[in-house]
Structure 1
């Protein structure tokens, strides 16, 4: 159980009230952002931090811009946009150059702490520890160091590095702040028990819980309930169930979806009589959590799309339109000339027709592969990842594939649904206990100007990549990022699987992807030189 909300509050408070780290000048947008954050109106706070960042950059105030970036990154992490949060934090680091300045050092410490927390949630534990080490390198304040000591020990415990965790926890337990002390007390007792199963950690566990109850530290109480439930899991099922229910009750009270899912995961195991009720509730809350995080990603991406950037893009489009009109005049002259060599063109029509027949055969072959083979494989993947097999639903999906195969030459994707949802559902269908999929930037605005033909090709290409991942890559994490830059749509696919060599690209189903991107005047790049996994970049014009 991670006290994430508590850690964010501590860092946010640090940015808003630490007098020795006052910005170089008062900024209306920055002050407005702080007031919205204090009122827990997070979306507005993010928007005003973004405006403040732009204002600071215009006045060459790199520290103010960096602090705005850090607060934006913390808000993104708090809403589950962990990849976006790390990207925003890295932008802040680029502005923090003078590492001798105490204010910059404390800002760097908070920023690296945020990247460490985000990496931990993404299960990149080694990277998380590296970020925490950088955090401690720049930390100035002793109380903040106590927070960071607790944070790094959490990750080390997850890695099973108990001795290293104990070193940091012995430093953290010296904290004067009761929240940090109770956190360290609870974690240190947990480490001692994990090292020696004969050790009795209950006095420390209950002492930490008592401190948290007195301080009305709800997030801390949740951490204690989770620890006690895990401790009693094999010793006393009734007590373990009691603390799991306590965790669910407080998590529901503070509307923490992530804590509710943790509680329900325990109840599914501990309370077999109510297994179906708890399992259904877990699925509902888990789905709500994923929807909330996906919405946050798209919302934050839209907010950062500055008005100034839109203005520049409009000016660029006007210039492109002027050039296009000039080009049309030249095209008219070319068409006149084309009339005279038209007869020569007739001589090669027969050859072109023969080639067209071959291309049609190839296209039909690809559609059989995409619509039938990949469609069936997608249904198989869903069945494989479902604990409760829904026979009727599976039959309905197989019937859908059958109906599409009857008129395969007219196969179109996403006509009945908004296309961004079709893509999100496609990628999410490959989620399983061993594979986690992530989507970024997939909003309806990207797909509005895209033709139905291009959408069809994009859908099939993404499905081909996902099927290839499922069959061959052994990946545990897959991320697909969508972005519209000027008049181009860029799609970045990345997984952490075994990767592929250049020789294998032609031999597997990915040859269809390479062929398909050419039909919409796009390009594809396979980056097999990365340290681990596969990275594929797809790019095609809007029109």
Structure 2
């Protein structure tokens, strides 16, 4: 077991009570702890908090990070591995990535050391197959686990209601009433509100076609218990049933409540996502500030030591020459080491920039084509991936790739690769003559500037129309980019990609202008000299 520190214990005590505060302390653990298993557990807790707040992608990100701190060959890590894969299955299920969910649940069962937990995970996997409408596979799982551990009545009720409900979904003529009611009675006797909520939902669905009045009664009960549990998702499900089953005079009331809860839920999730991101940002900022302060203190201490050495040297005239030579040698060695470290850091930053421009944005283009084209040309995609592979092997070379003579076609292909069924891309003025006098270096920079703008559009703008116009005027080339997306709000900080765009414009002595004052959309003008 990892050594628990104050931050971990504090976070654990706040978990499920004050989740924002718990998230803050767990984040301190992953920032400061030296214990890999403890870090992995903290990431798992953070993912659970995000999952409960509806931040499924953020939850997945922390779970995948947690896995990086675990060793699949170390039995001490198995429980955390199983917990991570189970949570990944849950997030994938809620994101409707059913195949991923099944794969993660299988891994969770593989690493689980608790036989009862394996039954719970198997039950979750059955829900995935049911959602995929693979009822035979789901029923096989439920039949395998239904009578295992019969002393646990709560788990038996869970498995029984899922088994009966799935049988009824497979065959609407199947009489599931007795089994569904048996599961409900167990849950009522054990006073398990979450279990009753599930039973009310299944019974409302089961009676909808047969006895709508009884179905309406169970829908009312589900809404009441979901309100007690403060579960907005279950309240929305219950309201959906009430709208469907209630008399017309009541429908409008339930619809208004449904709309209000849905809007509030979305707002709460957005606030939670921003809060989690802010906590991580502040933590990283504090860490950076502390390192900077430590460096300044070290420099001050160094200056004090130097002064003491000089004073001592003034007193000890006999040994001052050798002492000063020693200090000079030490300082020179530090400078050489510092210069080497700075050179290494500069090289890393440069390589990181190239990875972003050449590999990351290139992969995004390939992903966009795969996502938005039904007729995927396998050889074409493999050629693009192979090209990215070759570029990644040469990533450390400073020399830009040689631009071919058909540069205008290359630019058109680049821009059109971001066109989708929902986003139209129009190009004007991109002629061979436009690029005749533009040298290789400038072409290279312009290509990556346009790629970055289109990647940013694809990720963030939500635009349905993009227009890119090229114009040669006297000794300059002007490029006008316009879309009808959400634009960039004032005060928005530039991400790495757009920051790189500004640096590239400076490198070719160009100018870039963002016009975000439009009622809708974004307008950008690029201008650079021909030389």
Fold agreement, TM-score > 0.5 = yes
User: Which residue pairs with 2:45 in the alignment?
Assistant: 71
> What displacement does 1:298 show?
0.6
1:301 and 2:239 correspond: no
**Higher relative contact order, structure no. (Cα contacts within 8 Å, ≥ 6 residues apart):** 1
Deviation of the 1:155 alpha carbon: 1.2
Shift of 1:468: 7.9
Q: Secondary structure of the equivalent of 2:237?
A: helix
Deviations 1:358-388 (A, max 9, x none): xxxxxxxxxxxxxxxxxxxxxxxxxxxxxxx
Tell me the residue number matched to 1:120. Answer: 93
Residue matched to 1:168: 141
The CA deviation at 1:192 is 1.7
Per the alignment, residue 221 of structure 1 pairs with: 196
Question: Are residues 255 and 468 of structure 1, via their aligned partners in 2, closer, same or farther at CA, if it must alter by over 3 Å?
Answer: farther
Q: Please show how residues 503-522 of structure 1 align to structure 2 within 5 Å.
A: 511-513=481-483
Given that 1:146 and 1:171 are in contact with CA atoms closer than 8 Å, whether structure 2 keeps it comes out as no
- Residue of structure 1 aligned with 2:245, choices 262, 267, 270: 270
- Structure 2 residue aligned with 1:279: 255
Q: Deviations over 1:61-95 (max 9, x none)?
A: 11110001001101110111101000000000111
Going from structure 1 to structure 2, the CA distance change for 1:117 and 1:521 (only over 3 Å counts) comes to closer
Q: Which residue of 2 aligns with 1:35?
A: 13
Matched, 1:148 2:121: yes
| Number of aligned residues | 328
Aligned with 1:55 (options 17, 23, 32): 32
Match of 2:21 in 1: 44
- Unaligned stretches of 5+ residues in structure 1: 1-22, 320-466, 474-489, 525-537
What is the SS of the residue equivalent to 1:512? strand
**CA distance, structure 1, for counterparts of residue 124 and residue 96 of structure 2:** 14
Is the Cα contact below 8 Å between 1:81 and 1:297 reproduced in 2?
yes
CA distance in 1, matches of 2:98, 2:267: 25
Structure 1 pair 137–166 and aligned structure 2 pair: CA distance change class (3 A) = same
Take 1:471 and 1:308, find their aligned partners in 2: how far apart are those partners?
Answer: 37
The question of whether the paired residues in 2 share the 8 Å contact of 1:116 and 1:128 is answered with yes
Aligned match for 1:288, one of 264, 275, 279: 264
Change (3 A) 1:308 1:77: closer
Deviation of 1:232 after TM superposition, in Å, equals 0.9
Distance 2:291 2:74 in 1: 41
Q: SS where residue 25 of structure 1 aligns?
A: coil
Aligned counterpart, 1:254: 229
Query: In the superposition, relative to structure 1, how do residues 269 and 133 fare at CA in structure 2: closer, same or farther (>3 Å)?
Result: same
Describe the superposition over 1:459-515 as per-residue Cα deviations: whole angstroms up to 9, x where unpaired.
xxxxxxxx9878459xxxxxxxxxxxxxxxx968549x9x99xxx9869xx95259x
Q: Which has the larger radius of gyration?
A: 2
Q: Residues 35-58 of structure 1, C-alpha deviation per residue, up to 9 Å, x if partnerless?
A: 1115x11111111111122232xx
Unmatched 5+ residue regions in structure 2?
296-417, 425-454, 470-479, 489-493, 503-522, 525-531
Residues of 1 paired with 2:288 and 2:134: CA distance? 52
Asked if residue 107 in structure 1 is aligned to residue 80 in structure 2, the reply is yes
Q: In the aligned structure 2, how far is the partner of 1:308 from the partner of 1:206? A: 53
Q: CA deviation at 1:275?
A: 1.0
Query: For 1:167, what is the secondary structure of its paired residue?
Result: helix
Distance in 2 of aligned mates of 1:86 and 1:308: 20
Contact 2:467 2:483 in 1 (8 A): no
Using the TM superposition, give the Cα deviation of residue 307 of structure 1 relative to its aligned residue in structure 2, in angstroms: 3.7
For 1:178 and 1:71, locate their aligned partners in 2 and report how far apart those are by CA, in whole Å.
28
Q: How does 1:116-515 map to 2 (within 5 A)?
A: 116-173=89-146, 174-175=148-149, 176-271=151-246, 272-310=248-286, 312=288, 471-472=422-423, 493-494=458-459, 511-513=481-483
SS in 2 for 1:130: helix
3-state DSSP of counterpart to 1:200: coil
Question: Deviation per CA, 1:214-270, whole angstroms, max 9, x where unpaired?
Answer: 222111111100000011111111011111110001111121111110000111111
**Mapped contact 1:150–1:180 kept (Cα < 8 A):** no
